[in-house]
Amino acid sequence: MVARETIDRQIDKMSKLPILPQILVRLNQVASDSGASAEDLGKVILKDQSLTLRILKVVNSAYYQRRGREQVTTVSKAVVLIGFNGVRRLALGMSVCDTLRSADELPGMERFWAHSLATAITARLLAELSGHPSKEEAFVAGLVHDIGKLVLARCEPELYARLLAEHGADGPLRAAERQAFGLSHAQAGKKLARRWGLPGALEEVIGDHHGYESTGLGGGLPLLLRIVVAANRFSPGVLAPPVHAAALEVARLLEEALDINGLEAEVLYENVVQEYTDLAQTFGVAALPPQSENWVTRVARPEVDRDELLARLAAVAAAMAAGEDPEQLTGRILAGILAAVALDRVFLLVPDGAAGLVCTAGRSQGSRPALTAFEPLSRSPAAAWCGEALRRPLHVPDIAAASPAELPGAEILEQLGVSSFATLPVTFRSHPLGVLWLDNPASGRPLSETVRETVAPLAHQLALVLAEPRVPAGV
Give CA separation, 149 vs 144, 391, 472, in Å.
10, 56, 70
Strand partners, 97: none
pLDDT value at position 63?
63
Rounded distance between C-alpha atoms, residue 469 and residue 434, angstroms: 15
pLDDT value at position 19?
41
pLDDT tens-digit series, residues 377-412: 866 667 888 989 999 999 999 999 998 888 998 888
What is the average pLDDT value for the chain, to the nearest integer?
80
Question: What letter does residue 129 receive in the DSSP assignment?
Answer: H
Rounded distance between C-alpha atoms, residue 325 and residue 240, angstroms: 40
Give CA separation, 92 vs 24, 99, 144, 202, 205, in Å.
7, 11, 10, 11, 16
Closest CA to 222 of 200, 189, 190: 200
pTM, whole model, 2 decimals?
0.63
Do residues 409 and 389 touch, judged by C-beta distance below 8 A? no
DSSP one-letter string for 132-157 = -S-HHHHHHHHHHTTHHHHHHHHHSH
pLDDT value at position 417?
87
pLDDT value at position 458?
92
Better-scored residue on pLDDT, 444 or 288:
288
Do residues 382 and 376 touch, judged by C-beta distance below 8 A? yes
Alpha helices, DSSP H only, in 216-366? 223-234, 236-239, 244-258, 262-283, 295-300, 306-321, 326-340
Give the burial class of 301: count Cβ atoms within 10 A of its Cβ; 0-12 exposed, 13-18 middle, 19 or more buried. Answer: middle
Q: Is 429 helix (H, G, I), strand (E, B) or coil?
A: coil
Helix, strand, coil % over all residues of the chain, rounded to 5: 65, 10, 30
Task: For residue 217, give every residue at least 6 positions away whose Cβ sits within 8 Å of its Cβ, in sequence order, or none.
Answer: 226, 229, 253, 256, 257
In the CATH scheme, what is the code of domain 4-15+103-300?
A: 1.10.3210.10
457-460: Cβ within 8 A, 24+ apart: 457/309, 457/313, 458/309, 458/312, 458/313, 458/316, 458/333, 458/336, 458/337, 458/340, 459/424, 459/425, 459/426
pLDDT value at position 472?
41
In this predicted structure, the answer to whether residue 108 has a pLDDT above a threshold of 90 is no
pLDDT tens-digit series, residues 55-99: 777 777 666 654 556 677 777 777 777 777 677 677 766 766 666
Closest CA to 285 of 273, 296, 276, 294: 276
pLDDT tens-digit series, residues 276-335: 887 777 777 778 877 766 777 767 777 888 888 999 999 999 999 998 999 999 999 999
Helix axes of 147-155 and 185-196: crossing angle, nearest 10 degrees: 100
pLDDT tens-digit series, residues 155-175: 888 888 888 888 766 668 888
pLDDT value at position 102?
58
Q: Which CATH superfamily is domain 306-467 in?
A: GAF domain (3.30.450.40)
pLDDT tens-digit series, residues 408-420: 988 888 888 888 9
pLDDT tens-digit series, residues 240-254: 877 767 777 888 888
pLDDT band at 470 (very low <50, low <70, confident <90, very high): very low
Do residues 272 and 237 touch, judged by C-beta distance below 8 A? no
Rounded distance between C-alpha atoms, residue 460 and residue 456, angstroms: 6
pLDDT value at position 473?
40
Where do you find CATH 1.10.3210.10 in the chain? 4-15+103-300
Where do you find CATH 3.30.450.40 in the chain? 306-467
